[in-house]
Chains A and B, each alone.
Chain A
Amino acid sequence: AEKVIQVWSTASRQEGEELTLDCSYETSQVLYHLFWYKHLLSGEMVFLIRQTSSSTAKERSGRYSVVFQKSLKSISLIISALQPDDSGKYFCALWELRYNQGKLIFGQGTKLSIKP
């Protein structure tokens, strides 16, 4: 069974809008990290934001923020004021800390298109 699920394979928005990308995950671990990455058309994979399971802080980095619902095993990425450069594929990833070498489990990704 998939441990990290991104239900939407594609999404499309207008420039200036706000977007929420959803991700659900399965783990029996208490301590884990969740990450959002963006895969560019150039091939580069860019780290966006991290949520630690033990943190109650609302993580934010620039136009990126997350909504972490630990009891529902859900983490959403919110991108505000969308720009054409936000187009790309967004991946959610889980790191269970029992794997202290940092083995990431990725979702299938959501491809985002921004219309000018």
Chain B
Amino acid sequence: GGIITQTPKFLIGQEGQKLTLKCQQNFNHDTMYWYRQDSGKGLRLIYYSITENDLQKGDLSEGYDASREKKSSFSLTVTSAQKNEMAVFLCASRDRGLAEQFFGPGTRLTVL
């Protein structure tokens, strides 16, 4: 078994601030994902990475940067937080031989 951890669990930022969310997994999975969930909506893909140092844009990448410096970690940066940024950000990983993605507990972002 393994686990995905996301830090911080709650993140409060000011409008215009640069904010970084971190994700670690010990499954040794190749592919990692960042999703955003807004209230009343499904999850939307921001960025994903199929291996260390790889980055692929998802449907919602504008306003975000990502970094995959190690296989086990995947960071997401909100480049300039906006009030409509308030959402839950979920990190996930997947082994190349499996279809299922496994999710972390999420980071809830509030922008003041």
Contacts and interface: CB of A to CB of B under 8 A. Distances in A.
Interface size class of A (residues with CB under 8 A): 20 to 34
Contacts of A52: 99
B9 A43 contact: yes
Given A43-B108, A108-B42, A101 B99 contact: no
Interface size class of B (residues with CB under 8 A): 20 to 34
Nearest to B45: A103
Contacts of B43: 91, 93, 104, 106
Contact of B103 (A45, A102, A105): A45
B41 A108 contact: yes
A9 B9 CA distance: 26
Q: Quick one: which of B50, B58, B103, B108 has the most chain A CB within 10 A?
A: B103
A28 interface: no
Interface string A32-44: 0101010100111
Given A44-B105, A50-B99, A108-B41, 20 more contacts: A33-B99, A35-B99, A35-B100, A43-B90, A43-B105, A44-B103, A44-B106, A45-B106, A47-B102, A50-B100, A91-B43, A101-B48, A101-B50, A102-B94, A102-B101, A103-B45, A105-B42, A106-B35, A106-B42, A109-B42
Interface of A: 4, 9, 33, 35, 37, 39, 42-47, 50, 52, 91, 93, 95, 101-109
